[in-house]
Amino acid sequence: MTKPKNTHNTLHLKNKHLNGYYFNELCVTYPNLKEYVFVNKYGTETIDFANPKAVKAINTALLFKYYNISFWEFPDDNLCPPIPGRVDYIHYLADLLKASKIKNITVLDIGIGANCIYPLLGNAEYGWNFIGTDIDKKSLENAQNILEKNNLNSQIILKYQPDITHIFEGIIVENDCFSATICNPPFYKSQEEAMQANARKLEALGNVDIGRNFSGKQQELWYNGGEKAFIHTYAYESSKFKNNCFWYTTLVSKKENAESLFPSLKKLGATEIKTIPMHQGNKITRIVAWTFLTKDEQLNW
């Protein structure tokens, strides 16, 4: 068997996809992937990453082979998450929780989506329990179906957020106790901005059939005011539940948006703020994490 080239050499060291993909093994695990695999001009097996069906197939294969998942179906108009990048967040969060000596971990996933990806990965890799929230009932129904088919109902619980203007309010109640929150916020300010970004991405991949490849629902892609507005709302609402969670965390795609959070978090009373960089190929993003707990409260958690 030929070892694949290291196409993800900047991923977390615990990431199972650090050395790329073994397509022959993945095709055995998930035969539907076979029709999308081809050898490129460099003699390397690959797929067309501009083809959403091919992307969905390879990510399904990864889940089936490495994460003990046997069923993963969701509508084509929902985003298909790239497993290597999503599990990187899980591994970096695990490092943060380990450093804080937190045990019996329960994570609150804000915006679980129809694919339920972070809870599936966090449970498979570390045995964590999750509560996943979403503002879209159909997404929650689909996520519930995934959980039932994989016998994960007892470890991953879903909760509907009825108020689209809120994030934690209406979700966290008085006696809740979370080890961490996790979130992949919408990046764009509008559907138009999201479609323009998608068009640029597909053009770079050499695909001109842009309309066919656009996927993602509103709550997954855009938010009034964009990523910056969302994460500031996220931070503000977290301050209302200072003792209900050890670490509040979120992905932040733009460096300037992350930097804009720091003074706001300090004003809100955050006692510790961390930025955890993540490098995935040419893409650079980061996790911003903060806590409102004092040192004594952290030690006694």
Please name which of 54, 18, 19 lies closest in space to residue 36, comparing C-alpha atoms: 54
| pLDDT of 288 over the 80 cut | yes
pLDDT of residue 281: 74
| pLDDT of 189 over the 50 cut | no
**37 contacts 47 by C-beta, under 8 angstroms:** yes
Cα–Cα dist 78/104, whole Å: 32
pLDDT of residue 282: 77
pLDDT of residue 77: 84
pLDDT of residue 279: 87
Cα–Cα dist 40/46, whole Å: 7
The predicted-structure confidence for 197-228, as pLDDT tens digits, reads as follows: 444 454 554 554 434 343 444 444 445 668 99
Q: Rounded to whole angstroms, what are the CA distances from 194 to 48, 63, 182, 186?
A: 21, 27, 22, 10
User: Which strands sit side by side in the sheet containing 245-252, from one edge to the other?
Assistant: 156-160, 129-134, 106-110, 178-183, 245-252, 283-291, 272-280
Strands 129-134 and 156-160: what pairing?
Answer: parallel
The predicted-structure confidence for 38-89, as pLDDT tens digits, reads as follows: 999 999 999 999 999 999 999 999 999 999 999 999 998 888 999 999 999 9
The predicted-structure confidence for 96-140, as pLDDT tens digits, reads as follows: 999 999 999 999 999 999 999 999 999 999 999 999 999 999 999
**175 contacts 98 by C-beta, under 8 angstroms:** no
Identify the three-state secondary structure at position 181.
strand
pLDDT of residue 218: 45
Question: Which residues, in sequence order, are bridge partners of residue 243?
Answer: none
Torsion of CA 224, 225, 231, 237, to 10 degrees: -60
pLDDT of residue 174: 93
Which has more confidence, 173 or 195?
Answer: 173
The predicted-structure confidence for 239-265, as pLDDT tens digits, reads as follows: 999 999 999 999 999 999 999 999 999
pLDDT of residue 237: 98
pLDDT of residue 186: 81
Cα–Cα dist 135/159, whole Å: 9
